[in-house]
Structure 1
Amino acid sequence: MADYKAPLRDMRFILNEVFDAPTLWQTLPALAEVVDAETAEAILEEAGKITGNTVSPLNRSGDEEGCHWDNGAVRTPAGYREAYKLYAEGGWVGVGGDPAYGGMGMPKAISAQVEEMMNSASLAFGLYPMLTSGACLSIHAHASEELKQKYLPNMYSGVWAGSMCLTEPQAGTDLGIIRTKAEPQADGTYKVSGTKIFITGGEHDLTENIIHLVLAKLPDAPAGSRGISLFLVPKVLVNDDGSLGERNSLSCGSIEHKMGIQASATCVMNFDGATGWMVGEPNKGLAAMFTMMNYERLGVGIQGLATGERSYQSAIEYARERIQSRAPTGAVAPDKAADPIIVHPDVRRMLLTMKALNEGGRAFSSYVALQLDIAKFSEDPEARKRAESQVALLTPVAKAFLTDMGLETTIHGQQVFGGHGFIREWGQEQLVRDCRITQIYEGTNGIQALDLLGRKVVGSGGEMYQIFADEIRSYCAEAGAELAEFVTPLKAALDNLDELTRFVLESAKSNPNEIGAASVEYLHAFGYTAYAYMWARMAAAALGKHEQDDFYASKLGTARFYFARLLPRIESLSASVKAGSESLYLLDAAQF
C-alpha cells in the first residue's frame, strides 16, 4: 500500500479558493481572534505530519493484531499507546474544543480536514479521539459548570477519553425501549445499572480514565423516547481536587469480533449501580445527545471519504506502475513488455470515479462544516437560523451519501489491484472492510434516508429543501457564460430534484409507505445533485488557472468527468422513486 500523504493542496483549494473560509472566519467574532488563513495552514500541515508519520504506519499492523480482552481489561495493538500519547500531546483531541477549558477553539471547517487525515491514516485509531470529542460536545453544551470544569480539560488534552453509551441488545435505532435505569441518590448522584453494547472505546489502555455518557431512564420516566436522560459515568471516580479516586462499578464484559476496524475496541459495557451525574435536564437525554449528532454524523461521513481517499492514493500509484497488456490505441511504453494499466479505459473509469467522488465529498463535507460554524458562531440571528436549517437538512446526506460513495470508492480501489486487491498485504481489502461499518453506525444509512425525506423534507412541507434549492438556483443565475457546461446540467439536475420532491410530498399525503419506499433513492439523487453544485463551484475556481497549473487542469477534467459519467445516475434513481411503493408490498412475509 502507498504511504499516506494528506491531500493538503486540495484542502487549501476548497477552504481558500472555493469557499473563501478565511473571510468568513473574520466575520465571526468568536473565530476572528483564533484563526486565519496562516493559522489554518499551519494546523493542517502539522496534522498531515502526525497522521502520515505516526498513525498511518500502524494501520495494517493494528488490523492484523486487533484488540485483546482479558478479564475486563482491553489492550490495544502494539504502538497505539505511544501514538495516542503523541497525538494527545499535540492538542489534536481538543482541536475544536472550547479554549476556556483548554481546547484549540478551531472551527469545524478545520477540524473536519483533521478528521479526514486521521481516518485516512487509520479509521480504527481515529475512533478513539472522535468519541472523546463527541462526548465533550454534549458535556460542553448541557452539563453543569461544575462538571465542565471537572472533566473537559483532561478530555480535551487527551489525558482522559470519552465514550457514548446508547445501544442495548434490544434497542438500537429505537432508543425509546432502553432498559438501563438510573436511581437518584440523596447526594444528587445517580446509581446507573444496565448493559450497553457496541460501545466504541468503552474500555482500552490509552488513557487513565474514560468518561462514559450513558442514556438511562429514571424510575418515574415517561414511556418511550420522552423518558430518556443522559448521565456522565466515569470509569474511575474523580475526587474534588481533580485526582483519581476509586474504580466505579462498571466493567467491560467482552469485545466484539468484527468484520473491520479490528484495532478499535467495540465493547459490551455493564453498569452495576455505577455512580453518575445527570447531564442536562431529566427526560431530555436525547436532546442532549443530539447536540453532538450533527457533528458526529458528519464525522462518520468523513470516515467514508477518508477510506476512499486512502484507497485512491494506493490505486493510482499501482495503476501507474503495474504493466499489463497494451493500450487500445497502441503501445504507450514500447520499451516495456506491456503498458501501465492506467492506459486502459476501464481502469481510468474506476480511478476517475474515485477521484470525482472523493473530491466532491471533500467539498461537500467542508460546506456542511462551514454551515455548522455559522450556526454556532454567527451573531446574526437570521444567518444562524438559516445555517441551522441547512445543517439539519444536509447532515443525513453527508453521513449516508459520503459513506455509500466511500464503500464504492474503496471497492473500485480494490478492483484496480485485481487479484492483489483481495490479498491482505496490499491493504485494499482492509479499507473495504473498515469502510463498511460507516454505513451502519451512528444511524444506518436507511435511517438517514428516512430522516432526510420524512423529517426534513416532508416534515417541513418542503421548506427546508427549498432553502438549499434556492441557493443553488441563485448560484446558477449569477454564473457567467463561461461556466455554462457545468451550470446547465446542474440546473437540470436541480429541476429533477424539485420534481422528485414535489412527487413525494404529494404521494405521501395518501400513502405513508411512499416516504420509506423512496427515501434511499431520493437521498442518492439529492447527493449527486449536491455534488454537482460542489463541482460547479470547484470548476469556477479552477477556470482560468488550468493552462498554467496541472492541479487546476486536473480539477477541470475531473469536473467534466463527473457531469458526463456520474451525474446521469440520477435518471435511474428518479425512475425508482417515481415507481412508488406498490411493488414493495406484492409479497406476503411468507412469500419472501
Structure 2
Amino acid sequence: MSVYSAPLRDMAFTMKEVAGLDAVCAQPGFEETSPDLVEAILEEAGRFASGVLDPLNWPGDQQGARWDNGVVHAADGFKQAYAQFCETGWNGMPAATEFGGQGLPTLVSTAVLEMWKSSNMAFSLCQMLTLGAVEALARHGSPELQQRFLPKMVSGQWTGTMNLTEPQAGSDLSAIRSRAVPEGDHYRITGTKIFITWGEHDMAENIVHLVLARLPDAPEGVKGISLFVCPKYLVNADGSLGERNDLMCSSIEHKLGIHASPTAVMSFGDQGGAIGYLVGEAHKGLGYMFTMMNHARLNVGLEGVAISERAYQRARAYAIERVQGRTLTEGSRGIIGHPDVRRMLMDMKARVEAMRALAYYAAGQMDRAHGHTDATVRQQSQAMVDLLIPVVKGWCTETAQQVVADGVQVHGGMGFIEETGAAQYVRDARITTIYEGTTGIQANDLIGRKLAREGGVTMKALMRTMSADAHRLSEHPDASLRQLGQGLQRGLDALSQATDWLLTVGTQQPAASAAGAVPYLKLSGTVIGGWLMSRSAEAAQAQLSGAAGDEGFLSAKVGTALHFLHHMLVEAPAWRDRVVNGASSTLALREDQF
C-alpha cells in the first residue's frame, strides 16, 4: 500500500508565490501568522496526515461504515483518530476565535485541509460538513443559538451536517417538501432527507443537523424555504445533553467510493416531529445555506487536488520500483524510464500543481475579500472569488478524473487490482464532480450569474491581468519564460473569443449558451491554470537566478509549467471551438433520435 507524504515544499511555494501569503498575513487579525508559524503548522499537519489518517484510508475503504438498526459505526480506528484530531486542535483551526477556533487565514487552512483530504478523504468529510454548519450558524444564527451550539461544534465534541436533498428534490430545491410547524419557541420538523454525509455516526456525542424545510404559510418555490438547526440530542439550558430528538438514520447508502464516510437517509418526525430552531428569518433559508457555498465548493474542488496528489504519489512510487522491459531513459531501471510512463506522470504532476495553484489563489482572494483594509480591494476580491469558485470546483474535480485514471494506467494490470490502492482513488474521486452541485450546475453558474449578469466585468479584469503577465513573459530574456508568455497569450485569445461569443450570441440563444457552458468552464480552468503555472515558473526562475533555494525543486517548477503549456494549455483553442461552434450538433437530434 502507498504511504501519503504531504508535498510541503510545493504547498509553501504556491501559498507564497502564487496566492500571496505574505500580503494575506499582513492583514488585520493575521499579524501573528508568521512564516515560521505557517511552516510549523504545515509540518505538524503533514505528520498527523501521514501518521494517523493515511494508515486508516485503505482499511476504512475496505470495511466501510456499518449501519445497525439506526446506529452507524465508523470504520475501525476512525473514532480514535477523530478523538486525537480534536484533542490536538485540528478540527477548529479555520473557525473564528470567538467560538474557540484559531482564526487562521483561509489560505493556510486550505493547505492543511488538502492534507486531510489526500490522506483520508472519507475522514475529512466529517470536518468539512461540520465547518460548513459552523459557518452558517456563525453568519445567520441568533446569539443564543451560537452560544448553545458553536463552541462544541468548533471543538469537535459535536459534529454538523447539511440536510438539503430529498428523494424528489435533488438539485431542484424548490421541490422540497419537509415541513416545519411552529410550537412555542421551537418548531416540529417532519420529512426525509437523503445523501446526508456523516448524518449518523458514533465518533461524537452529538450531531447538529441544519435542515431546509417549509413553514405552513411558505410560498411555493425556493423563496419559501427556511433553515432550522435540529440536533440529534436536545441541549439543556446548562449545555448538557438532554433527550433524544425525533430523528433517525433509516439507512446508509452503498456507494461507488468513500465507503468509510456514511451517507445517511435521515427521517425527521416519525414520532410526531423533531424539535428544531429557526435560523435567521423565515423563508430565507436557501440564501443562508448558500452563504457557505463558496467555502464548500472550494473544499470540494480541493478534494480534486488532494485525491490527484495522492494518486500521483502512488503512481510515481510504483513507476520507480516496477522493473519491466528495457527502458529508453538513461539512469532509470523502473518503468519510469519508459517515455510514455513519463508522459503520464508529467501529465499528472502538471495538472496537480495547476489545480493547487488555482485553489490556493482563490483561497487567498477569500482572505482579501474578508479582511483587506481597502474597501475597494475587498469588493474586487469578492467578485474574483465569486467568479473563480465554480471554476475551482468544476475544473479541479473534472481534471481529477483524468489524473486518477492515469494513475491506474501507470500501474497497468495491477492498477485494476484493489490491493495496489490505485483503484480506490478512482472510486473516491468520482463523487467530487457531483458534490455541492454537478459540473453542469457550476458551468451554468459561471456563464449565468458570474459572466452574463455582470457583463463579463470581472472575467475581463482577470484577463487584463493575465494578458499583462503574458506580455511581460513574452519579452523575458529567459527562453523558457518567453515560451510560457507566448503560449499563455494564445490561450487568452481563445478565452477572450469564447467570452465575447457568450456575452453576445450566447445571451440571445440560451440553449446554445448552456450547451457550451461546461466547455467554457474547462477553457477557463485551463487558461487560468496555465497563467498561475507561468507565475510559478517566473518565481522559480527568479530564485534560480539568484542562487537561492533548492535547484532541483525550482527547475522542476519551470519544467512542469512548460509541460502544462505544451500538453494542456494548447487545448484552449479546441475548448473555444466547442463553445462557439459546438452547440448546433449538441442540440441537433430530436428526443426520439437518442
User: TM-score with structure 1 length normalisation?
Assistant: 0.96
Aligned with 2:187 (options 171, 185, 190): 190
Residues 472, 485 of structure 2: 8 Å contact kept: no
C-alpha displacement at 1:571, in angstroms? 2.2
Aligned counterpart, 1:123: 121
Q: Call closer, same or farther: CA 1:229–1:379 in 2, change over 3 Å.
A: farther
Aligned with 2:470 (options 473, 476, 482): 476
Separation of aligned partners in 2, 1:253 and 1:198: 12
* Partner amino acid, structure 1, of 2:562: R
Residues 452, 507 of structure 2: 8 Å contact kept: no
Q: Deviations over 1:501-534 (max 9, x none)?
A: 1112211233210121100111101000011111
C-alpha displacement at 1:2, in angstroms? 2.3
Task: Give 3-state SS (helix, strand or coil) of 2:248's partner.
Answer: strand
Aligned counterpart, 1:252: 249
Task: Give 3-state SS (helix, strand or coil) of 2:553's partner.
Answer: helix
* Partner amino acid, structure 2, of 1:481: H
Does residue 44 (structure 1) correspond to residue 42 (structure 2)? The answer is: yes
Separation of aligned partners in 2, 1:386 and 1:131: 28
Structure 2 counterparts to residues 220-231 of structure 1, below 5 A = 220-231=217-228
Aligned counterpart, 1:168: 166
C-alpha displacement at 1:8, in angstroms? 0.6
Aligned counterpart, 1:591: 593
Aligned counterpart, 1:487: 485
Residues 185, 191 of structure 1: 8 Å contact kept: yes
Separation of aligned partners in 1, 2:216 and 2:531: 50
Residues 2, 421 of structure 2: 8 Å contact kept: no
Task: Give 3-state SS (helix, strand or coil) of 1:528's partner.
Answer: helix
Aligned counterpart, 1:363: 357
Aligned counterpart, 1:564: 566
Separation of aligned partners in 1, 2:237 and 2:468: 56
Task: Give 3-state SS (helix, strand or coil) of 1:13's partner.
Answer: helix
Task: Give 3-state SS (helix, strand or coil) of 1:84's partner.
Answer: helix
Residues 5, 52 of structure 1: 8 Å contact kept: yes
Aligned counterpart, 1:391: 385
C-alpha displacement at 1:478, in angstroms? 4.7
Residues 165, 215 of structure 1: 8 Å contact kept: yes
Separation of aligned partners in 2, 1:375 and 1:545: 30
C-alpha displacement at 1:309, in angstroms? 0.3
Aligned counterpart, 2:398: 404
Residues 155, 162 of structure 1: 8 Å contact kept: yes
Which runs of 5 or more structure 1 residues have no equivalent in the other structure? 334-338
Aligned counterpart, 1:82: 80
C-alpha displacement at 1:243, in angstroms? 0.4
C-alpha displacement at 1:150, in angstroms? 1.2
Aligned counterpart, 2:501: 503
C-alpha displacement at 1:208, in angstroms? 0.2
Task: Give 3-state SS (helix, strand or coil) of 1:240's partner.
Answer: coil
Structure 2 counterparts to residues 58-137 of structure 1, below 5 A = 58-137=56-135
* Partner amino acid, structure 2, of 1:559: A
Aligned with 2:201 (options 201, 204, 211): 204
Separation of aligned partners in 1, 2:88 and 2:131: 15
C-alpha displacement at 1:328, in angstroms? 3.9
Q: Identity over the aligned pairs, expressed in percent?
A: 45
Name whichever of 116-125 and 39-48 sits farther off: 39-48
Q: Deviations over 1:436-455 (max 9, x none)?
A: 00011110111111111122
Separation of aligned partners in 1, 2:382 and 2:406: 35
Does residue 542 (structure 1) correspond to residue 516 (structure 2)? The answer is: no
Aligned counterpart, 1:4: 4
Task: Give 3-state SS (helix, strand or coil) of 2:292's partner.
Answer: helix
* Partner amino acid, structure 1, of 2:576: S
Aligned counterpart, 1:57: 55
Structure 2 counterparts to residues 86-485 of structure 1, below 5 A = 86-186=84-184, 188-272=185-269, 273-328=273-328, 332=331, 339-479=333-473, 481-482=476-477, 483-485=481-483
Q: Deviations over 1:540-566 (max 9, x none)?
A: 111044476100011111111111111
Name whichever of 43-52 and 463-472 sits farther off: 463-472
C-alpha displacement at 1:476, in angstroms? 3.2
* Partner amino acid, structure 2, of 1:583: S
Name whichever of 13-22 and 498-507 sits farther off: 13-22
* Partner amino acid, structure 1, of 2:238: D
C-alpha displacement at 1:13, in angstroms? 0.7
* RMSD of aligned alpha carbons: 1.4
Residues 192, 265 of structure 2: 8 Å contact kept: yes
Task: Give 3-state SS (helix, strand or coil) of 2:238's partner.
Answer: coil
User: TM-score with structure 2 length normalisation?
Assistant: 0.96
Name whichever of 459-468 and 431-440 sits farther off: 459-468
Separation of aligned partners in 1, 2:23 and 2:29: 13
Residues 92, 155 of structure 2: 8 Å contact kept: yes
Residues 390, 467 of structure 1: 8 Å contact kept: no
Residues 504, 514 of structure 1: 8 Å contact kept: no
C-alpha displacement at 1:580, in angstroms? 4.0
Residues 91, 156 of structure 1: 8 Å contact kept: no
